[in-house]
Amino acid sequence: MGALAFLHRFGARLNPHGHFHGVVVNGVFEADGAGGARSRTAQGLGSEGLAEIPTEVRIRLLRALARRELLEREDQAMGAWEHGRGFSLDARVRVEADDRRGLERLLRYCARPAFALERLREIAHGHRVYESVRPGLEGASA
């Protein structure tokens, strides 16, 4: 199986917002007869199977954190919370195997730095502001 995880510590407004993005291969890699590897797509993983993944991963992750005493046992109730309440997992984004541009766009999004230099501007010598939306877009605020 192949997967990448990208840890993010800040939100778009440079607010503390610990989260990570993960990219997971839909299948497994196995050895071929020539000493290389080939991928085999997972079978039977339709929209119903994808819908179950977030809940199962959330419950298993919270259980593992509690077992390692990194999370209080009573905080495992987060496993039942709905999206947006402190813990969420979204498995809806999918990039087809032959969509190289889509894969690159997804990986660039996941691997982006904590802040974008183009949002940082100097308003006076030694004083800078960070715009919460891209410069030039209507509604930009400092």
Q: What is the pLDDT of residues 100-129, one digit of tens each?
A: 999 999 999 888 887 778 888 889 998 988
Tell me the three state secondary structure of residue 2. coil
User: What residue has token string 């390692």?
Assistant: 68
pTM of the model as a whole = 0.58
What the block records as the tokens of 17 is 């917002």
Q: What is the largest CA-CA distance in the chain?
A: 65
Listed in order, strand segments (DSSP E) in 1-142 are 3-10, 16-24, 27-31, 37-41, 120-124, 127-130
* Cβ atoms 9, 18 nearer than 8 A: yes
Residue 140, pLDDT above cutoff 80:
no
Q: Pick the closest to residue 66 from 51, 53, 77 (CA basis).
A: 77
Residue 99, pLDDT above cutoff 60:
yes
H runs (alpha helix) in 46-126: 47-67, 100-110
Mean pLDDT of 14-19: 76
pLDDT of residue 101: 95
pLDDT of residue 1: 59
Q: What is the pLDDT of residues 22-73, one digit of tens each?
A: 888 877 778 888 988 887 777 766 667 766 777 777 778 778 888 888 877 6
pLDDT of residue 105: 93
For residues 125 and 60, give the distance between their C-alpha atoms in angstroms, rounded to a whole number.
51
